[in-house]
Amino acid sequence: MKVILTEKVPTLGNVGEIVNISAGYARNFVIPNKLGVIADAGNAKALANQKKALAKKVAEQKSEAEATKKKIDGLSLEFVKKAGANGKLFGAITTLDLSAELKNKGIEIERRLITVNNAMKNLGNFTAKVKLFQGVEAEFKIKISMDPAQAEELKAKQAAAEKRKEEKAAAAALA
């Protein structure tokens, strides 16, 4: 019996393929589980129409992905966070933060589509990739800098520590 597969079946084939299987297997498993339909002229025509609609939908999605790629490529996001003296952040920048910042810039991207090679737990520059569609990836830069008020406070503390160190050294030299 010839059957048109409506879903991918690992042992038989992919969606849209016409396969020849035993009548019992078709009636008892493939057709009741909606994995395929009997191959006749009406079903073949319906399948052809579905393929055309699917191809059109895929083309639209790809063009949308290309347009979004143009917006994202070369984009630079800047985050100002609190960090310790060694440059380690109190917390981390996650894909959720990146997604929210992109949304603020008018680009809506799901966080699961964003990948970053290194964990963003330190101050510095990073690069992130967004997989928009099969074969369409965008890349943007991320800069994480220290909160200016905290940076001034940290410099003041370091200067005071240096001054105390110099005073101790001078006192030790006099003694």
Domain residue ranges of the chain, discontinuous segments joined by + = 2-52, 71-147
Collapse the DSSP code of 106 into the 3-class scheme (helix H, G, I; strand E, B; otherwise coil) and give the result. Answer: coil
Give pLDDT tens digits for 144-156.
Answer: 988 877 777 777 7
Task: Give me the tens of pLDDT residue by residue for the chain, a chain 175 residues long.
Answer: 999 998 888 888 888 888 999 999 999 999 999 999 999 989 888 888 888 988 899 899 999 999 999 999 989 999 998 888 788 888 889 999 999 999 999 999 999 999 998 888 999 999 999 998 888 999 999 999 888 777 777 777 787 878 888 888 887 877 6
Reading the block at residue 93, the tokens are 């920048």
Burial class (CB in 10 A: 0-12, 13-18, 19+), 62: middle
CA distance 115 to 131: 8
- Mean pLDDT of the chain, nearest integer: 88
Residue 42 amino acid letter? G
Residue 99, pLDDT score: 94
Reply yes or no on domain 71-147 having CATH 3.10.430.100.
yes
Could you tell me which CATH class the domain 2-52 is placed in?
Answer: alpha beta
CA distance 13 to 23: 17
Collapse the DSSP code of 29 into the 3-class scheme (helix H, G, I; strand E, B; otherwise coil) and give the result. Answer: helix
pTM over 0.75? The answer is: no
How far lies 158's CA from each of 20, 85, 161, 162, in Å?
Answer: 79, 9, 5, 6
Backbone φ/ψ region at 124: left (φ over 0), alpha (ψ -120 to 50), beta: left
Adjacency order of strands within the sheet including 76-81: 76-81, 136-146, 124-133, 114-116
For residue 138, how far is the Cα from the chain centroid? 10
Reading the block at residue 64, the tokens are 């949308």
